[in-house]
């Protein structure tokens, strides 16, 4: 296949940051996607509808002239979030979900939740009002091996959560394991998952290829090949429970190439090309449009986009570095060739 025409996709999990960083990365996402679910892990996090409204205005102000891109906002769940905030979120037209971070799990998650069960009154309100819950599905218990944290989260927290709140719509974000795929497949239709390009294309060997490779480090961390294979199978299966969420998470080069490097892969520049490569490797390019453009809006109960985009089979080189505050930004697979290109 030499060209691929798709309904314009959306990104259902994205980090846009703020200020000069926002300005640097937003045009990449706005070029590829019509909408994106914007993660709330700013410093301080986006905890109220008022915070979300102000952040949304900053995003709109940073858009390139003429862009129709629509940010879909989320609130950051804390142990102090009140049911009234959920009611206000639902009443706003722009807050589409609430994001749970386990305290200390990842970038800017210090104010996250130490014990998910403490938020039951919030989940009750979200279930009643039908506001989706987005989960960073990892335990942070230092006794649990980092490669097992998703599986343990599912067993310890997620299975009890969905049996307690059977009508709550839940997205298990950036799934990384065969265990998560199995769980989502066996769960009711209220449970879905996003999958990143890096988890479809790479296994954990990429972290250590010839030396330590910080630009492949994200959370949840890359897993074994058998898990990557299960994710690729799920993404290309046509099952509407799985949809596109890049988790593109920019950090300045200096913060990644460090004795204690930050987690996050930057893929907003070339996300669709990366996904196309993954789907092509499974001989499933015909399943890309459902995954990228239909399953997400259907789950969120938003209209599908009507515009189209085209990808051409053309080889180009991913830049070594992109402009970004402090020390520049290395995109995923910087300096390497890629065989699809968005027109």
CB of 324 to ligand NCD, least distance (A): 13
219 binds, among ligand NCD, Zn ion, none (CB under 5 to 8 A by kind): ligand NCD
Of the ranges 43-51, 69-77, 247-255, 288-296, which one interacts with Zn ion (CB under 5 A)?
Answer: 247-255
**H-helix segments, 193-325:** 197-201, 225-235, 253-256, 271-281, 288-289, 295-300
What does the alpha-carbon distance between residue 158 and residue 31 come to, in Å, rounded to a whole number?
Answer: 35
User: Which residues of this protein are in contact with ligand NCD, per CB under 6 A?
Assistant: 15, 41, 106-107, 136, 218-219, 247, 249, 263-264
Q: Which stretch binds Zn ion (CB under 5 A): 56-64, 148-156, 241-249, 331-339?
A: 241-249
What the block records as the tokens of 107 is: 């970038």
Q: Which of 150, 247, 273, 277 binds Zn ion (CB under 5 A)?
A: 247
Q: Which of 70, 247 has the CB closer to Zn ion?
A: 247
Burial 27-65 (b: 16+ CB within 10 A, else e): ebbbebbbbbbbbbbbeebbbbbebbeebbebbeebbee
Helical pair 120-129 and 83-91, crossing angle rounded to 10 deg: 20
Task: Check 115, 145, 247, 286 and give the catalytic one.
Answer: 247
First to last CA, the chain: 15
Per CB under 5 A, does 11 bind Zn ion?
no
* φ/ψ of residue 228, rounded to 5: -55, -45
Selection from ligand NCD, Zn ion, none that 178 binds (CB < 5 to 8 A by kind) is: none
CB of 319 to Zn ion, least distance (A): 23
Contact 175, 200 (CB under 8 A): no
Residue 193 CB, shortest distance to ligand NCD, in Å, is: 14
Q: Is 247 a catalytic residue?
A: yes
Do the beta carbons of residue 264 and residue 214 sit within 8 Å?
no
Beta carbon of residue 247, minimum distance to ligand NCD (angstroms, whole number): 5
Decide which of Zn ion, ligand NCD, none touches 218; Cβ closer than 5 to 8 Å per partner kind. ligand NCD
Residues catalogued as catalytic: 247
């Amino acid at each position: 296949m030499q060209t691929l025409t798709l309904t314009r996709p959306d990104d259902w999990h994205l980090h846009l940051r703020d200020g000069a960083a926002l300005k640097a990365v937003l045009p990449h996402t706005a070029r590829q996607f019509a909408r994106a679910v914007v993660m709330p892990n700013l410093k301080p996090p986006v905890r109220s509808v008022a915070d979300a409204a102000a952040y949304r205005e900053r995003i709109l102000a940073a858009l390139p002239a003429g862009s129709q891109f629509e940010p879909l906002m989320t609130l950051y769940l804390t142990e102090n979030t009140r049911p009234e905030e959920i009611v206000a979120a639902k009443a706003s037209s722009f807050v589409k979900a609430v994001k749970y971070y386990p305290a200390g799990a990842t970038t800017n998650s210090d104010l996250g939740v130490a014990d998910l069960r403490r938020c039951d009154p919030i989940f009750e309100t979200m279930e009643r009002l039908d506001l989706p819950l987005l989960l960073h599905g990892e335990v942070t218990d230092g006794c649990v091996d980092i490669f097992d944290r998703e599986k343990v989260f599912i067993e310890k927290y997620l299975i009890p959560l969905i049996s307690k709140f059977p009508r709550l719509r839940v997205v298990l974000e950036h799934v990384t394991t065969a265990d998560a795929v199995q769980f989502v497949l066996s769960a009711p239709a209220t449970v879905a998952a996003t999958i990143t390009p890096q988890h479809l294309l790479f296994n954990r060997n990429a972290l250590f290829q010839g030396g330590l490779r910080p630009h492949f480090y994200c959370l949840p961390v890359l897993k074994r090949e058998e898990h990557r294979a299960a994710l690729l199978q799920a993404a290309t299966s046509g099952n509407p429970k799985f949809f596109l969420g890049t988790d593109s998470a920019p950090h300045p080069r200096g913060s990644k190439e460090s004795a204690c490097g930050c987690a996050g892969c930057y893929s907003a520049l070339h996300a669709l090309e990366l996904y196309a490569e993954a789907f092509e490797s499974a001989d499933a390019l015909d399943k890309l449009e459902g995954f990228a453009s239909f399953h997400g809006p259907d789950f969120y109960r938003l209209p599908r986009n009507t515009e189209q985009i085209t990808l051409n089979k053309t080889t180009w080189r991913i830049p070594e570095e992109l402009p970004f505050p402090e020390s520049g930004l290395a995109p995923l697979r910087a300096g390497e060739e890629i065989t699809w290109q968005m027109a």
